Structure 1
Amino acid sequence: MKIPLFVFFLFLALPAFTQQDTAKLTVPKDTLTVTEQLTARQLKQLYRQHRRDSIRAHKKVWLSILGGPSYNPEASLGIGGAMLMTFRMNKYDSLSQRSFIPVGFNISINGTFVAAGAGTLFFNENKFRIYIKYGYRTEPANFYGIGYDEIKRAEELRDLFNKDSVTFHKASVQFFPRFVWEIRPNIYVGTLLDYNYYYGKDMPYWMEQNPQVRKYGNKYHNIGIGGLFQYDTRDDVATPFSGIFLSAMGTLYGKYLGGDFNYEMIELEYRQFRQVFKRRSVLAWTAKSQIGIDNVPYTELPNFGNPFDLRGYAWGKYRDKSMAYGIVEYRHMFMSEEAYKRGAFWSKFGAVAWVGTGAIGKTPVDWDKWKFNYGVGLRIQLQPRKNFRLDIGKEPGQKWGIYMNMTEAF
């Protein structure tokens, strides 16, 4: 829920007026294909942009950073933003996508510090991938209990007193790599490791007395191993224009692995992407479910309302032993493909809008109260098919949530 003031300054820049004299479409040595009539100035821009992209595409490391002042009620005033690093694992492997490591960060005057992200490394002509989710966070967090009944009572406490009645301070670490091999065209199998650490303090009294908090305590770590299956036809992992992604994943956490608790997690996910109107206009939709089994600590319970799903809910508000959600999102980058190729200023900007719904319950048969969610967002392309995103989402009847991240939510 960050408010990046620097975004407003981006709109102070205006694209230069182009010349009106037309020119023949002659591009040296057939390096480009142009399908619209260009002015002499536009043709020059096109050549320069193509040359820059060609050089950058072969750069070993390409680093992009965007940031500025931020504010939210929990973290107070600070500095927030995002960094994106892309590179090739093997400079001779031209078939693999560029690997990318994004990091979102926030540092505030009340002691909040967050550095987290989710990236992908590509090897051997895309036949081997490592998906990595990582993060360190020390920040105010929300706890509304577990299940709809406790959430309702927590909302009443918050409305009667103030936000501090549902807020505590949390420190957490996560390292979650998944190793995936292509065994048939578009079919992948793999294994995974998940390490997470949690420490909570400054809890309100009612939270300290919650049965789940008393059972698991305010400090623990968990270690899990598991396997996964994927079917993936996406044309790009970070910003797909087309394709389908199906995933099934199971993880075992246990004391026998060095963790504090024994439990299991099952996750199913479906995503699809389709171009509409033009190439840089995409309709995306997803459905995802998680089911926890046995002694799942309260911070690790299936939940939604984070920057990668139903943006706009208080993070940590909706949690239970199982959850499911669905999202339909329209993504639109401004101007034409040709304008983008020649480096037109506004072609690096775009907008999105989404609607979604989600439910929680002890088991899937308890998914009977679906919550509505909607929002809009701004996109700024920092590297080809790699966007900075500013999203503003809402739960009906609640305040807007604001998020800054690199790459799309799904």
Structure 2
Amino acid sequence: MFRYLLIYMACLLFTFSVKAQGISNDTIPKEVLMLDGKPMTEKQIQRYHKQLHKDSIRANKRIWWSILGGPSYTPEASFGVGGAVLASFRLNKNDTISQRSFIPAGFNITLNGTFVFAGAGTLFFNENRFRIYISYGYRNEPSHYFGKGYETIEQIEKSDSTTKFHKSSFQLYPRFVWEVRPHLYTGPLFDINFSKSDDINPVMAEDPYFNKFKRDYVNIGVGGLIQYDTRNDVATPSSGMLLSAIAKVYGKYLGGAYNYEMFELEYRQFQQVFRPRSTLAWIAKTQIGVGNVPFTELPSFGSPFDLRGYYWGKYRDKTMAYGILEYRHMFGSVEKYKSGNFWAKCGFVGWVGTGTIGNAPIVDWNKWKFNYGVGLRIQMQPGKNFRLDVGKDPNQKGMAVYMNMTEAF
């Protein structure tokens, strides 16, 4: 009898234990995460934790690589294959104040024989108190020279017998700045560039400005810059401003071929509009050359970083000025981006701009060229976008397409 009683009590205790365990599990609150004011689904929670895990690993990585490649097209180089690599890293893993340093590199190989390898990045040191901006590039390509100044440029039609020549060039352009006051940076710079021109067409061979210079030459310059910079991020700012002034002197006394000076003034502003991840950006910039400026170094517009849509280098003279107003929009909210949502890593831009050239500043700036375009953005890393831009010169047929890492400005 006693044995049966013990068995009965043991079974009863086991039943109570199971029920208590069930009650305990049911009463434990499940993790509730919100996305745009609504609880996340199980799938969204899994994606959120997966993204957190990825971000945690990447944040502690010495170098974070992003690679992208595919077909390419530019108005200068026609169709081809291009690629871009972006490396971001912390030079001191204990320095959590400095932004992540970044160095992009892009290449382009096209059907018309163009080969380009170039990039521009920024290195951050000592809690953002010291920076190195660096631009570099090698180009071996067919090119076109329309002359110097509006009067000459707009009288010449682009063709193999009037504008085409072959150009090889190289540039290394580092700038070193220290923070001397909050947001105020200043320091020296160095510029070395090489240019070689051959296969000169008959019209170009008679151009008086072109004939002032040798077919190949090296220019070496030194100078300084001062910046007031409140941007929240150098690569992809969404707030703040940049005021910059640069002065450079080039000379035979430095080992170069010609004596001349270059001056630059630049203003950029970034303002959040409508909602987070929606930015209105604008820039105004001028370059002024003084002295015997080689034709390849004359101020111009039409690069992937200014009035996208014009032929790069078509409009060139001793002075240049341009302005751009650009709207940048990333899809989704900050919460959706943090949750790992793919579409929250995508966005678009639209811009309008205008530019001019002249032999002298202001007084010769009486003809302005209009420009507009749209673009696609894909965020490869936090604050680092791949961009695909389509720009338009209203006076020419067709569109110009550009692919690059980081924003135009």
TM-score for the superposition, normalised by structure 1: 0.89
Distance 1:33 1:186 in 2: 35
- After superposition, the C-alpha distances for 1:40-76 in whole angstroms (9 at most, x for unaligned) are 2112211211221121011101111111123457535
- Deviation sequence 1:116-140 (CA, Å, 0-9, x none): 1110000000100000000000012
Q: Is the 8 A contact 1:46 1:342 kept in 2?
A: yes
Gaps of 5+ in 1: 1-22
Identity %: 63
The separation in 2 between residues aligned to 1:113 and 1:290, in whole angstroms, is 27
**Residue matched to 1:91:** 93
Q: Would the aligned equivalents of 2:74 and 2:402 in 1 still touch at CA under 8 Å? A: no
2:337 aligns to what? 340
For residues 144 and 89 of structure 2, the distance between their equivalents in structure 1, rounded to whole angstroms, comes to 36
Q: Distance in 1 between matches of 2:370 and 2:83?
A: 28
Q: Secondary structure at the match of 2:56?
A: helix
Question: 2-side partners of 1:276 and 1:164: how far apart?
Answer: 49
The answer to whether the aligner puts 1:217 opposite 2:214 as a matched pair is: yes
Distance 2:31 2:280 in 1: 33
What amino acid is aligned across from residue 386 of structure 2 in structure 1? Answer: F
Partner in structure 1 of residue 110 of structure 2: 108
Specify every segment of 5 or more residues in structure 2 that has no aligned partner in the other structure, as ranges.
1-28
Question: Structure 2 matches for 1:282-297, cutoff 5 A?
Answer: 282-297=279-294
Find the counterpart in structure 2 of residue 9 from structure 1: none
Partner deviation per Cα, 1:362-395 (whole Å, 9 max, x = no partner): 1111101111000000111111100010111011
Residue pair 2:391, 2:400 contacting (<8 A) in 1 also: yes
Report the CA distance shift for 1:43/1:212 in structure 2 as closer, same or farther (over 3 A).
same
The equivalent residue for 1:374 is 372
Counterpart of 2:299, as a letter, is: P
Secondary structure of 1:237's partner?
A: coil
2:389 to 375, 388, 391: 391
SS at match of 2:343: helix
CA distance in 2, matches of 1:363, 1:25: 67
Are 2:201 and 1:195 equivalent residues in the alignment?
Answer: no
Inter-CA distance 166–275: structure 2 relative to 1 (3 Å threshold): same
**Count, aligned residues:** 379
Return the match for 2:254 from 253, 257, 273. 257
Between 1:32-41 and 1:204-213, the stretch displaced more is 32-41
Taking only aligned residues, the RMSD between alpha carbons, in angstroms, comes to 1.7
Residue equivalent to 1:70: 72
Deviation of residue 108 (structure 1)? 2.6
Question: Where does 1:309-324 land on structure 2 (aligned, <5 Å)?
Answer: 309-324=306-321
Contact 1:134 1:175 in 2 (8 A): yes
Indicate yes or no: 2:143 matched with 1:141. yes
> Counterpart of 2:123?
121
2:339 and 2:63 map into 1 onto residues whose CA distance is 23
* Deviation, structure 1 residue 26: 3.6
Q: Secondary structure at the match of 1:344?
A: coil
TM-score normalized by the length of structure 2: 0.89
* Whole-Å separation in 1 of the counterparts to 2:371 and 2:40: 43
Deviations 1:182-214 (A, max 9, x none): 011101111100001000112211111111111
Structure 2 counterpart of 1:237: 234
For 2:284 and 2:110, how far apart are their aligned partners in 1? 34
